[in-house]
């Protein structure tokens, strides 16, 4: 048999994939499955973005681009940071990649040495801990409990930083909780970070535009501009413009770090796709009303879906201000139903009994919960809720 590297062997197959494989197997048997496991907008990419890509193909923009992205896209990104975030960057501070996922991967490879620790607040996006391990570093999970809105506190952060801590990854609005850090919370976190100048910060703002909180969206650097020389802002067009398959993400930060990340990318994928980059220029520079329309639709679904889930006995669905996931506690259901030991059992049971596929919370470091995506039509969500309710109340 082939001997796989220790680096890769330590990565467990994700629970997300296990559940979606179970769902696919049932579908192949002809079962009608409602799938709430996905992580992408159900909307189509806006027409003017598609047109720009078609035009780019016609114009022959089909070759390698510079590793860090086309000058047009880098300018569009600089313009976006100015317009949306009140942040100023030079072209040397921007790197375009194949999705925000690659931006983060570049960062971890460029920054981390063996024995370094990465603070990952839980509930976390599934990829952060495994990416840290693939970079030969250690994830240090810091749990933000329901009593703190699933966010970490400044005090918790202060207590967990040690001599090995090299990086803190923040994600707001959060996948999976949809929770958002306020300016004050960021300020308090910044005060702790001021005492630890060796700690670098990655701010994953990918859900920035899928946000309906009362206060304007705030990224860490708005609250703590003094952290600019050790903060990398990560964002992309996947979620805001329904462009997941185009694979365009970007990072902005200190020039020396961007240069190192560019080196990593130069030896792995070279550049992001040229046609996709042209499409991203149209997305960032074009009319922005499509972004607001999609956000309003997500908000409407959120309001329906979280209330309907809360109405099911044993389910507690916290409020949230963004992204497109409900992340309720199902602990009451797990406790009430004899054969179920945990959220992984529950996800399997809901798939069998209700024909609904979800993702167990333990995949995100939050046992007892399920993640249910609401990037789906209202009819679809109503069907899902009635199936879940029926399975639980008749069990
Ligand atoms: N960050 C978070 C929190 C995400 O949920 C995702 C996608 O699911 C990404 C980053 C990566 O997005 P992409 O690589 O499509 O830009």
Provide block-wise average pLDDT over 10 residues at a time, the chain (395 residues).
Answer: 92 75 89 89 95 98 98 98 98 98 98 97 96 97 94 97 98 98 98 98 98 97 98 98 97 98 98 98 97 96 96 96 97 94 94 94 95 94 97 93
Query: Does residue 171 have its Cβ closer than 6 Å to ligand 1?
Result: yes
Q: Is residue 68 lining ligand 1, measured as CB closer than 6 Å?
A: no
CA 251 to ligand 1 centroid distance, Å: 13
Helix axes 343-354, 378-394, angle to 10 degrees: 100
Distance 148 CA to ligand 1 centre (A): 24
Report ipTM (2 d.p.).
0.99
Query: What pLDDT is stored for residue 63 in this prediction?
Result: 98
For the segment(s) 6-44+290-394, the CATH number from 3.30.365.10, 3.90.1150.10, 3.30.499.10, 3.40.50.300 is 3.90.1150.10
Q: Which numbered atom of ligand 1 lies nearest the CA of 249?
A: 16
Domain ranges for the chain: 6-44+290-394, 63-285
**What is the Å distance from ligand 1's center to 234 Cα?**
10
> In testing the pocket of ligand 1, which one of 41, 206, 236, 375 has its CB within 8 Å of the most ligand atoms?
206
Closest ligand 1 atom to 39 CA: 8
User: Atom of ligand 1 at shortest distance to CA of 40?
Assistant: 8
Q: Of 258, 394, 369, 364, which Cα lies nearest the Cα of 318?
A: 369
Tokens at residue 77, please? 């990104």
CA of 237 to the centre of ligand 1 (A): 10
pLDDT of residue 24: 86
For residue 235 and ligand 1, the question of a CB distance below 6 A is answered with no
Give the position, in ligand 1's atom list, of the atom nearest the Cα of 248: 16
Residue 236 Cβ contacting ligand 1 at under 6 Å: yes
Q: Which CATH architecture has domain 63-285?
A: 3-Layer(aba) Sandwich (3.40)
Residue 40: the pLDDT is 84
pLDDT of residue 37: 87
123 upstream amide cis, omega within 30 of 0: yes
Closest CA to 253 of 269, 267, 225, 234: 234
Write the DSSP assignment of 332-344 as a string of letters. Answer: HHHHHSTT--SHH
Q: In the β-sheet with 359-360, what is the strand arrangement from edge to edge?
A: 325-326, 370-373, 359-360
**Are the C-beta atoms of residues 18 and 24 closer than 8 Å to each other?**
no
**Cβ pair 106, 97 in contact under 8 A:** yes
Of 372, 255, 386, nearest to 311 (Cα)? Answer: 386
Q: Is residue 208 in contact with ligand 1, taking CB distance under 6 Å? A: no
């Amino acid at each position: 048999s082939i001997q796989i590297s220790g680096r890769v062997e330590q990565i467990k197959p994700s629970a997300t994939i296990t559940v979606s494989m179970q769902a696919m197997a049932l579908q192949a048997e002809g079962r009608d499955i409602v799938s709430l496991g996905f992580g992408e907008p159900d909307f189509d990419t806006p027409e003017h973005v598609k047109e720009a890509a078609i035009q780019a193909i016609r114009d022959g923009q089909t070759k390698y681009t510079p590793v860090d992205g086309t000058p047009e896209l880098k300018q569009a990104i600089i313009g976006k940071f100015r317009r949306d975030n009140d942040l100023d960057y030079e072209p040397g501070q921007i790197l375009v990649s194949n999705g925000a996922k690659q931006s983060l991967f570049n960062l971890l490879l460029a920054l981390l040495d063996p024995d370094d620790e990465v603070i990952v607040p839980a509930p976390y996006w599934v990829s952060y801990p495994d990416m840290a391990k693939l970079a030969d570093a250690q994830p240090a999970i810091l749990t933000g409990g329901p009593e703190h809105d699933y966010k970490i506190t400044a005090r918790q952060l202060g207590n967990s930083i040690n001599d090995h801590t090299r990086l803190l990854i923040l994600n707001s609005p959060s996948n999976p909780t949809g929770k958002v850090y306020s300016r004050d919370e960021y300020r308090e976190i910044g005060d702790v970070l001021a005492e630890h100048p060796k700690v670098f910060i990655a701010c994953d703002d990918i859900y920035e535009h899928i946000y309906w909180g009362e206060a304007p969206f705030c990224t860490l650097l708005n609250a703590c501009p003094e952290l600019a020389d050790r903060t990398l802002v990560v964002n992309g067009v996947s979620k805001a413009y329904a462009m997941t398959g185009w694979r365009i993400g970007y990072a902005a930060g200190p020039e020396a770090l961007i240069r190192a990340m560019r080196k990593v990318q130069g030896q792995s994928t070279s550049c992001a796709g040229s046609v996709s980059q042209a499409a991203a220029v149209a997305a960032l520079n074009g009319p922005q009303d499509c972004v607001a329309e999609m956000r309003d639709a997500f908000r409407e679904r959120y309001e329906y879906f979280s209330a309907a889930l809360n109405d099911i006995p044993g389910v507690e669905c916290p409020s949230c201000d963004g992204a497109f996931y409900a992340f309720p506690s199902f602990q009451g259901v797990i406790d009430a139903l004899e054969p179920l030991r945990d959220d992984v059992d529950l996800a399997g049971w809901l798939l069998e009994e209700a024909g609904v596929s979800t993702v167990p919370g333990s995949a995100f470091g939050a046992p007892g919960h399920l993640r249910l995506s609401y990037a789906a039509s209202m009819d679809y969500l109503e069907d899902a809720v009635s199936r879940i309710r029926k399975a639980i109340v008749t069990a």
